[in-house]
Chain A
Amino acid sequence: MTQAEAKNVNVWYNNFQALKNINLTFEPNTITALIGPSGCGKSTFLRLFNRMNDLIPKFRLEGMVTVNGQNVYSDDVRLDEMRKNVGMVFQKPNPFPKSIFENVAYGLRVNGINNKKILEETVEHSLKQAALWDEVKESLKKSALELSGGQQQRLCIARALAVQPKLILMDEPASALDPISTAKIEELIFELKKTYTILIVTHNLQQAGRISDLTAFLYLGELIEYNHTKKIFLNPDDERTQNYITGRFG
């Protein structure tokens, strides 16, 4: 079964074509890294899967994007329902100015789940999955803003896990963090692969090499190469990929 798919995808912002005829499929329980120089369209591509691009004026899409076999851009899709199935972690940790508990419970509450027992269980389970539970279990009522940057990012991951998505989108989740926090996040992502399918945009090529199974290289809106990470890094087919990963441009 395919977890997510982009078929003949073209994207425009006004007259600028950001993505050109992209075809990609993502299998369950894999980590796929999206790499490429700034402005190559990798974030745009990532945000197709939970329709975050809808918020950008003059955004236009051709082609089909599916998650769990459902076309997320079809007219009968309800955005809030659809986004429950797709978790997202942003570049800058963005915890809500609420307690740690309420941050994780937020996704459940907005979906109408207010049962105390369910909330408590889910919060604990999600924080454990995000490897944050041991650090915060005594202080769930404390403001999330008092956590360190790395802890905040793991909290945001826990928050995304709480609504039990299948697919998780990560937009440079470790780029604002120090090396130790980054290592923790990477470890966590690797662990999450058992349960989830993960798409991760990253500028950090070592990071892509360490954690991903597959890597897609985008350049100027085109998908240049998509293959097993090892193959991309050791023996890419395309010269542009070779140039990028050896640091000759980007």
Chain B
Amino acid sequence: MNTKQLKQKTAFIIIGTLSFIVVAILVIILGFIFIRGIGVISWEFLTAMPKDGMTKGGIFPAIVGTACLVLGSMIFAFPIGVLSGIYIHEYLSESWLKKFLRMMTNNLAGVPSIVFGLFGMALFVNYLSFGDSILAGSMTLGLLALPVVIRLTEEALKSVDDGLRLGSYALGATKIQTIQKIVLPIAFPNILTGLILSIGRVSGETAPILFTVAAYFLPRLPQSLSDQVMALPYHLYVLATSGTNMKETRPMAYGTALVLVTMVLIINFSASLLRRRINRKNKMV
């Protein structure tokens, strides 16, 4: 074997090993949570209220709370994010404004989530007097998801072949018709995937809901948007660090982690499934 081939081989082995390490880390984390958590998973755990200082019972209100927050944040972030993405990519020409908006979107994505939490508390909870509520928490989480949705929308639009836009213009279509009838239908599966991935991110966030909505212990379901709720990530934090009986709550914490991780995984898998289905359908139209 000559040096060139040897170099090639070494590089391949190094890169391959590193990739496997990454996958292995994920598998170890998931396996660890699964083994520690599966013991407490039961129908009761998923559907009952917590009781006896959170050492018994279930996590149902936290599951419902997280579902509410995710839904609320998407109702807030999806239209604003997608429309902003369309504006930035389709309407702005290459100018300082476009660069500025892009830069600010990226900066927004880089803001630590605890800062979003404090901002949400200052703006929604106090200034707009929503109080600690699903409304305030959803909007705070929505803000967090916004840059992700904008950027993924832009990426989705970028992947639409310019030849199709030109073809549409050449037939006398206006810009808005071209976007509606050609660009968006093609970009839609990718936009949808972006949306679902941002759901995955939002559902696991703790800091933004800490001061805006999350309840330490609230064994009932929310009745309105102005109610507080329990949420999975915060519940996990509580069980792991500040329960009344740490030893007893430890297995409950692993169970909660398992539920949260499973939820996020299911959401991500359904994203790719959905995308594949829509793509296939689009081709068959």
Residues of A within 8 A of B (CB): 50, 52, 55, 57, 79-81, 83-84, 86-88, 90, 92, 94, 96-99, 102, 106-107, 109-111, 143, 145-146, 156, 159-160, 163
Contact = CB atoms under 8 A, between A and B. Distances in A.
Size class of the B contact interface (CB-based, 8 Å): 20 to 34
Contacts of B93: 57
Nearest to B161: A94
B275 to A, nearest CB: 15
B280 to A, nearest CB: 11
B18 interface: no
Q: Lowest 7 CB-CB distances: which A-B pairs, in order? A: A107-B171, A84-B172, A94-B163, A88-B170, A110-B173, A94-B167, A83-B172
A83 B166 contact: no
Nearest to A81: B172
A68 B161 CA distance: 32
Given A80-B173, A106-B181, A156-B167, 12 more contacts: A52-B169, A81-B172, A83-B169, A83-B170, A83-B172, A84-B172, A94-B163, A97-B185, A97-B285, A110-B173, A143-B283, A159-B171
Interface of B: 93-94, 161, 163-164, 166-174, 177, 181-182, 185-186, 282-285
A96 B283 contact: no
Contact of B170 (A52, A99, A102): A52
A80 B94 CA distance: 23
Given A94-B166, A96-B168, A159-B171, A110 B283 contact: no
Contacts, number: 74
A111 B172 CA distance: 7
Contacts of A102: 285
A87 B172 CA distance: 9
Given A57-B94, A111-B172, A99 B285 contact: yes
Contacts of A88: 167, 170
A163 B172 contact: yes
A96 B182 contact: yes
A90 B167 CA distance: 8
Given A96-B182, A97-B285, A143-B284, A80 B167 contact: no
B172 A96 contact: no
A92 to B, nearest CB: 6
Nearest to A91: B163
B167 A110 contact: no
Contacts of A156: 167
B170 A96 contact: no
